[in-house]
Structure 1
Amino acid sequence: MIVRPYGDSTGDGMVQVSFTLPLPAGKRAEGAAAQLAQKMGIHPAMVVHARPIGPDFTFFVVYGPVSHLVDTSAVQVVERDFPLLTPAEVNQAVRRGLRRRLVVVGACIGTDAHTVGIDAILNIKGLAGEKGLEYYREVKVVNLGAQVAVDELVSAAVREKADAVLVSQVVTQRDAHLHNTAALVQAFADRLAPEQRPLLVVGGPRFDESAATELGVDRVFGRGTTPREVASYLVHRLVPQEVLA
C-alpha cells in the first residue's frame, strides 16, 4: 500500500516539522528556516511559528507539502511476539511455572534522573489504567530509583537473584542511553556467566526497538509500553512454554 501524508485533504502530502536554529529571531532566521525546510523536501515551506529562545536561538514550526511516498509493505517494525496476559494469568503462570516469585530489579542508570518511565512500569499506580508490576502478587519488584551506578545495579541484581533487570533511559544527549546500555551489558558479562545473567530489558522514547541484538540486551521497549506488556514478556521468556499452553 502506498500512502502520502494527510494535512488538509487526503493525499495532499502536507507535513509539519519543528526545529531550532542558532540564530536570533527575525526575518533572516525565518528565511533560513524556510530554506532548511525546502532542502528537506518541503516545498513551498511556510514558517507558521517562530519564537525566540534567548537572544541567540529561535524555535520554528514549518508547514508545507512533500512529494515523498511511503510503501507500507516495506515498513519494518518489531511486532509483539507473545500473548498479552491479564494480571491473573501472569500470576498463575509464574506460580505454576516457577513455583516462586519472579524477581525484577529496575533502575535509571548513569546520570539519568527521570524515573517517570521506570515508575510507570514498576510502581503499583502503573500507567494508563494498568497497574504496575508491584500489583502482581507473584512478582517481587526492587526499584532502585534514579541515577544508579551500573555496578550498584549489577550488585543488586546478584544479591536479589533477579530473573530480569529493567532499565529506563530518558536522557539521550550524546547517545548517553546507548553508552549506559553498553556499560550495563559489559558489567554483567564481567560479573556473571551468560547462563547466569538475568534478562536485560531496556526502554525509553529514543531507543530503537529493533536494536536489541546490536545493544546486547534481550528486549527493547519504546514509548507507550505498558506494565501489562512487560509482565507478559517476562512470563513469555521465563516461564516454561508447556505451562503456558
Structure 2
Amino acid sequence: MSASTDAGPDAAGQHQIVRPYGDTTGDGMVQLSFTLPIPHDKRAEGAALQLAGKMGMDPAMLVHAKAMGPDFTFFVVYGQVNHLVDVSTVRVVERDFPELSAAAVNQTIRKKLRRKLVVVGACIGTDAHTVGIDAILNIKGTAGHKGLEYYREMRVVNLGAQVAVPDLVEAARAERADAVLISQVVTQRDAHLHNTREASAAFREAFGAGKRPLLVAGGPRFDELMSDELGVDRIFGRSTTPGEVASYLVDALITRRERAKEAVRA
C-alpha cells in the first residue's frame, strides 16, 4: 500500500510557513499560464487579467498572449498572491522500500522466489501513449536506467497500447502474473481515474481474495495518494525509474511476505 505521510512541525515544534518566491524572498510572485476560449484581442487580454484577479493575483501583469487558432488564446500572467503554505501539513507518499541494484533484485528473486517474477504491463482503455510503459518495461529503459526486461530474473509481457481491461485480466491469468502495471497518460475527463478503477474492480472480481496480482498504476498526472481510492497497491508518478519499480515489486511480493510469514511463525 502507499505510504502517505504528514510532515509534522520542525524540530522546534514550529509550523513551516513559506510564500512563493519571484524577484525577492517571500514576495509572493507567481507565474500562471492558461487558455481561454475567445479570440485574441484586447478584450481577451482584459478577461485574462480579470480571471487572474479573481484567483487572488494582485497586482497581475499580462506578460504573454498568443492566439491558438481563431477561437482560443493562450496567456501567461505574472503577479503577487498573499497565500501562505504550511509545509508541515503537506502530505506526500514516501518511498517505504529500499532501492536495490539490478544485481540485488535478481539475487533476491532467485533466492526467495526461486522462479521468474512475471510482470504484465499495458496502456488500458483508449490510451495510446506507450512512452511511459515502454520506459519502465523495455530493456533500453529511460535516462540511463535499464527497463525491467534487463532483469534476468523477471519475465516481462508488454501488451502495448489501447488494451481492453478484460483482455488485460485474461493475459494476467494466462501468464500467471505476479504484478500488473497499468499506464495512463490521457487525463481528459479523468479517463485515467475511470480506467484504473475499472481495472481494479475487474481484477477483484476475476481473482479470489489474496490471489490477484499486485496492481501498480503509473502516469504523470496521477495523485500518488490515491492508491486506496483507486483500488491499486501503488501509484508511481512522473520521473519514476525502472529501478524504483523493480525494487518495489521485490519488496511487496517477496520481502513483505517473508516478514509476514516470520511474524505468523513467531
Query: Contact between 1:164 and 1:198, CA under 8 Å: does it hold in 2?
Result: yes
Query: Contact between 1:101 and 1:140, CA under 8 Å: does it hold in 2?
Result: yes
The alpha-carbon deviation at position 243 of structure 1 amounts to: 6.7
3-state DSSP of counterpart to 1:211: helix
Gaps of 5+ in 2: 1-15, 260-266
From 160, 175, 178, give the equivalent of 1:145: 160
**Paired residues for 1:127-142 under 5 Å:** 127-142=142-157
Farther off after superposition, 188-197 or 213-222: 188-197
TM-score scaled by length of structure 1: 0.97
Q: Deviations over 1:183-218 (max 9, x none)?
A: 111211221112110000001111110111111110
The alpha-carbon deviation at position 242 of structure 1 amounts to: 8.5
| Percent identity of equivalent pairs | 72
**Paired residues for 1:93-108 under 5 Å:** 93-108=108-123
Task: Give the partner amino acid of 1:212.
Answer: S
Query: Contact between 1:109 and 1:148, CA under 8 Å: does it hold in 2?
Result: yes
CA distance 1:55–1:238, shift in 2 (3 Å): same
Task: Give the partner amino acid of 1:115.
Answer: T
From 104, 109, 125, give the equivalent of 2:140: 125
Task: Give the partner amino acid of 2:72.
Answer: F
Task: Give the partner amino acid of 2:82.
Answer: S
What is the aligned partner in structure 2 of residue 86 from structure 1? 101
Query: Contact between 1:96 and 1:243, CA under 8 Å: does it hold in 2?
Result: no
What is the aligned partner in structure 2 of residue 26 from structure 1? 41
3-state DSSP of counterpart to 2:56: coil
Is residue 235 from structure 1 mapped to residue 250 from structure 2 by the alignment? yes
Farther off after superposition, 121-130 or 100-109: 121-130
The CA RMSD measured in Å over matched residues stands at 1.2
**Paired residues for 1:145-164 under 5 Å:** 145-164=160-179
Q: Deviations over 1:109-167 (max 9, x none)?
A: 01000001101100111112111101111111000000011111111100000000001
The alpha-carbon deviation at position 13 of structure 1 amounts to: 1.1
Structure 1 Cα separation of the partners of residues 257 and 160 of structure 2:
35
Is residue 224 from structure 1 mapped to residue 226 from structure 2 by the alignment? no
Task: Give the partner amino acid of 1:96.
Answer: K
TM-score scaled by length of structure 2: 0.89
